[in-house]
Amino acid sequence: MNFKQKKLFSFVLVFLLIIGISTVPVNASGDKINITILGTTDVHGNIYNWSYEDGEEVDNIGFAKIYSVVKEVREENPNTLLIDNGDTIQGTLLTDDLYNYDLEKPNPIIDVMNFMGYDSMTLGNHEFNFGLDLIKKIEKEAEFPILAANVYNAKDNTNYMKPYIVKDVAGVKVGILGLTNPNIPRWDGVKVKDLKFEALDEAADKYIKELREKEKVDVIIVTAHAGLDQEYGPQDEARRIVENNPDVDVLLVGHGHITVNETIGNTVVGGARDAGRQVVRFDLELEKQGDTWEVVDRKVDIIEVENYEASEELKEYAQEYHKATLDFISREIGYATEDLHPASEIKGIPEGQLRDTAVVDLINNVQLKYSGADISAAALFKNDANIKKGPITFADVFDIYKYPNTLKVVEVTGKELKDYMEWSAAYYNTYKPGDVTISFNPNIRGYKYDMFQGVDYKIDISKSEGERIVDLKFKGKPVKPDDKFKLAINDYRYSGLYNEGIIKGEPIFESDPISMRSYIAQYIEEVKTIEPKVDNNWEIIGADLDHPLRDYIINEVNEGRIEIPVSEDGRSYNAKALNVYELIEEGVIPEEVLKEYGIAKEENEKTEIATPPKQEVKEEVYIVKSGDVLWKIAKKFGTTWQRLAEFNKLKNPHLIFPGQRIIIPAN
């Protein structure tokens, strides 16, 4: 071999070594390999890191951010799978109002997911919002399989979508099983009448066995568009999947928009927040044992996308969709003379769920106008939903009505109406003495609290659930159980109430495919100028919030020194009332403030009124009038409410009533 031949041989050898090194899987040898699984869930139509409602770039959402994570991990480990867990093609103006109703245009979300190289997607409940034609359309467009193992065609019990796929990852057989939320008929009703939905664990038991025995997979990944714990019953509890099948290696959950990062037995479980804020990363280490691979180590991590720059490559690819959306929402459709949602008295507690407001009245009035119903009910989907003073665009409509619901009218009896209103009023926690705020049941989401138009009523939160709606009147007359009314509600609420047996009638009007957002936009374009009108047809009663310390406590909340409680899972705000007695007992209110108001802490009582030594006094009698509270009476007579309470032996100093006699000490 001459010099030139040796040099060429050396060059070729080095080149082959480089190629060989670059193609060896990370941490892979003859008997070991690492596999990474990246999971997304509840991205809800966010491609760019952009808020269309606010018209600005944001740091922590979207496929553009996710793709930067994906590219980095793929460089780290070529043996990486990318899977999605549903609620993906719905949720923004781009998806819901431009592309999901147009079956002629390519679906932008599926197009972007093809570009990103997804390996699978599981259907979420919101994929069904737009009907089955759209689902079949995206199935054809997707360059990856779409899964739903627990959904069947009602006619012949065949699978509606593929139940699972098997991927070969560097010689390892990986099974990916997809399960959607079985409660979809509760929400989408007639849209899924041709389908049957099976409980998560029942479908999982069947197909996991098939993956092991028939497909001979080495790894089982389950993606379930549901929470770990049940929402409506055991049929939607993802935890049961791994309890029944401890050989599942990875479980990706979703639907709840909460972070999940835990291990159950030998299964690593992960879930992410919504809008693409997080990516779930699973890492599996496998060893070759005979002809099969065994998982010997596993872990799960949550990646925050705000720590990554948005992918300019993806944004350039999707710019056509983004630009079309910006053009659509920037068109002015009307003008608001003032804000429709008043500012909160207390930070963290929306006024729109404490009293009648123009923003909810607008939604209800639109429903009444276009449906011809007698009564309408609607929710405040966002606690700060508002149409602000100034020009109105479609982005503002999206802000006050974030879901692509359609409108239905159903005939109800007076009893059904009352039952529905009581169901809604369960949203409030029961008032107790010492509360200075009204709070919300942490087990009920805000979007499930409806406010009613067309009737006058009061909600007495001093009463138990089911007994709170009082003085219910229609056109000035008390509502009787056998009265009949036409009720306008959205399709989501109709399905829920119908399935719970609260209402029993079939719709007599359906707006599908016209959405409520379209109706609201149409109404604004017709009237051109929107003024914040409120008829105050309802109010909350049964809560005496006028404690002398209330102003102090509210100021502390607004200054950020006292926090409004949230639920344990973080999804429910204002989950517990601020109670003056509890705050005193917890030491939240300083001693000097208590002394200023003549209040002292005692060891054996929540609060004890500080009183002067007993002495002979001449008495005066005051008769309580409507609207009186004890501290105002005390101020009028130059004394303290604590002394009046002690002197009159009032068991509950914050509950007095018109006609009651209050004895006033002369000194």
Encoded tokens for 357? 């407001």
Long-range contact set of residues 350-355: C-beta below 8 Å, sequence gap at least 24: 350/380, 350/383, 350/384, 352/380, 352/383, 352/385, 353/380, 353/383, 353/427, 353/440, 353/446, 353/449, 354/438, 354/540, 355/536, 355/539, 355/540
User: How far apart (Å, rounded) are the C-alpha atoms in residues 73 and 36?
Assistant: 8
> In the prediction, which pLDDT does 164 show?
98
> In the prediction, which pLDDT does 107 show?
97
Mean pLDDT calculated for residue range 590-603: 77
Q: Looking at the predicted structure, is the pLDDT value of residue 227 above 60?
A: yes
3-class secondary-structure state, position 382 = coil
DSSP collapsed to 3 states, 477-511: EECCCCCEEEEEEEHHHHHHHHHCCCCCCCEEEEE
604/32: higher pLDDT: 32
pLDDT band per the 50, 70, 90 thresholds, residue 667: low
If you count DSSP H runs as helices and E runs as strands, how many of each does the chain have, helices first? 20, 32
Encoded tokens for 92? 């923004």
> In the prediction, which pLDDT does 12 show?
42
Q: What is the pLDDT of residues 404-460, one digit of tens each?
A: 889 999 999 999 999 999 999 999 999 999 999 999 999 998 999 999 999 999 999
> In the prediction, which pLDDT does 658 show?
64
Mean pLDDT calculated for residue range 144-152: 98
Domains of the chain in sequence order: 24-325 (3.60.21.10), 332-543 (3.90.780.10), 611-667 (3.10.350.10)
Sign of the Cα pseudo-torsion (569, 572, 574, 579, in order): negative
Encoded tokens for 473? 């009147």
Q: What is the pLDDT of residues 511-550, one digit of tens each?
A: 877 889 999 999 999 999 999 999 999 999 999 998 999 9
Q: Looking at the predicted structure, is the pLDDT value of residue 629 above 90?
A: no
273/662: higher pLDDT: 273
> In the prediction, which pLDDT does 20 show?
45
User: How far apart (Å, rounded) are the C-alpha atoms in residues 408 and 415?
Assistant: 19
Q: How many CB atoms lie within 10 A of CB 480?
A: 12
User: How far apart (Å, rounded) are the C-alpha atoms in residues 406 and 256?
Assistant: 23
> In the prediction, which pLDDT does 97 show?
85
Give the position of tokens 């006699």: 661
505/404: higher pLDDT: 505
